[in-house]
Structure 1
Amino acid sequence: METELLKGTDHNTLKVVFLGFGQDLTPFSSLNLSSDTFFVYDYEDDSADFSVIYEYKKYEVIAWSLGVMMSDIFVSKVEKKPWKMTALNGTPFGINSEKGVDAALYKATLDNLSEDNMTRFYRRMCGRGQEFAAFTKVKPSRSLVSFKNELMFLAQKSTAHRAGKIVWDEAFIGLKDAIIAPLNQERGWQGHALNLVKLDAAHYSAQFFKDKLS
């Protein structure tokens, strides 16, 4: 697991951002951050140090895709709780054919992992319009080995995690999401989020991150 703290204009509060599968900081490095932001990504192990949250009076969690499950695990274990939790296109249930990522689709991604298929994954993640064209210019720089390790680790975490104990403040669901079905997301959040917001967006939304982090 990789982490990096980037400084914003406000140093009093912290945003902890759990990214989705297959990511690094490259797509997010050009954002003008409004607050100090602690990015979490590349889930290959449990090695991350989250002690940074104790250096701030309060912090909030913003999580995307399978990062929602990983942040749910983090918050369930950490003593200092966030003041707010926001999710985009993910659920606490991770890999779950009814309430998260379809298990068969996930297995197919792992079994057929290749450079070409990762490009196809990013295309489905972004949609086929300008979002994908823009993402290809800043796509993550990672190896196939790291992708495979991450997929296997996330599968293990999904099997072990008992989701549903934490109530999130807000969950955004992209109606054009081709990675995690919007219906699955709705089922996953039933009783576990105070507010559900539907967006005209694909699985990845650059505008969402700009709105939440800039």
Structure 2
Amino acid sequence: MRRHWLARAGSDELTLVFAGWGLGAAPFAGLTGAADVLVVDDYTTLDDPLPEVTGYARLRLLAYSFGVASAAHWLARADVRPARLVAVNGTLHPADPQRGIAPEMIAATADGLNADSFARFCRRAGLTGPAPTIDHRAAAAELCAIAARGAAPETPFDRVWIADADRIIPTAAQVVAWHDQAEAVRRIPGGHVPFRPGQSWQEWFA
């Protein structure tokens, strides 16, 4: 997994973010109010123990998009227990026609991935600014790995945020996917990238 430190001031609390596919740290760059923030992505493999987390007295984890299933897979094998675990616009079933994205759509995205198609994906997701620079071949392989890994173990989340107009992981599919944890679900306006510049991290961990 790749690491992106958004903030590193020596706090005793770490905000760990499992980002979505392809977007890296860009969706979170405008959030405020956390002294130490580590964003990880690239879920081709999930055997990285992330030793950076062990030096903190308290850990809170926000998982976004395909980072939701990836975080749950990672937590199942890691000796880590976040004090607060939050999901945003993702499910434990990334490649699933009813509870995620249809597997054939993921395969088509991987097969046709290039600069133009990735830019369209970023616009559809609602990312502002230019599309991040990615290695298209590696990103396609990552998509295939996520799909092949399958559903993550059932994992209780403290909060699940679902945007009303998600055009990447359909809102209706997310609602179905979180049926058994409906008490944790909160609906929010917006699309697949719901984070706004100036928002506090604490709003997402509420």
Q: Same fold (TM over 0.5)?
A: yes
Partner of 2:158: 169
Give unmatched runs, 5+ long, in structure 2: none
Give the aligned residue type for 1:188: A
Partner of 1:113: 113
Equivalences for residues 119-138 of structure 1 within 5 A? 119-126=119-126, 132=127, 134-136=128-130
Partner of 2:66: 66
Aligned residues: 203
The answer as to whether partners of 1:91 and 1:99 remain within 8 angstroms in 2 is yes
Question: Once the two structures are superposed, what CA deviation does each residue of 1:102-160 show, in whole Å capped at 9, x if it has no partner?
Answer: 2222122112212111111111111xxxxx4x332xx31212112112112212222xx
The 2-side partners of 1:40 and 1:155 are apart by: 19
Question: Once the two structures are superposed, what CA deviation does each residue of 1:33-56 show, in whole Å capped at 9, x if it has no partner?
Answer: 523112111223335341222211
Using the size of structure 2 for normalisation, the TM-score is 0.87
Match of 1:155 among 128, 147, 170: 147
Partner of 1:44: 44
The 2-side partners of 1:97 and 1:16 are apart by: 29
The 2-side partners of 1:26 and 1:88 are apart by: 15
Displacement of 1:200 after TM fit? Answer: 1.1
Partner of 1:80: 80
The answer as to whether partners of 1:26 and 1:141 remain within 8 angstroms in 2 is no
The 2-side partners of 1:117 and 1:184 are apart by: 23
Question: Once the two structures are superposed, what CA deviation does each residue of 1:161-194 show, in whole Å capped at 9, x if it has no partner?
Answer: 4432x11011111111001111110111111364
The 1-side partners of 2:79 and 2:88 are apart by: 24
The 2-side partners of 1:63 and 1:162 are apart by: 13
Q: What is the CA RMSD across the aligned residues, in angstroms?
A: 2.3
Give unmatched runs, 5+ long, in structure 1: 127-131
Partner of 2:180: 191
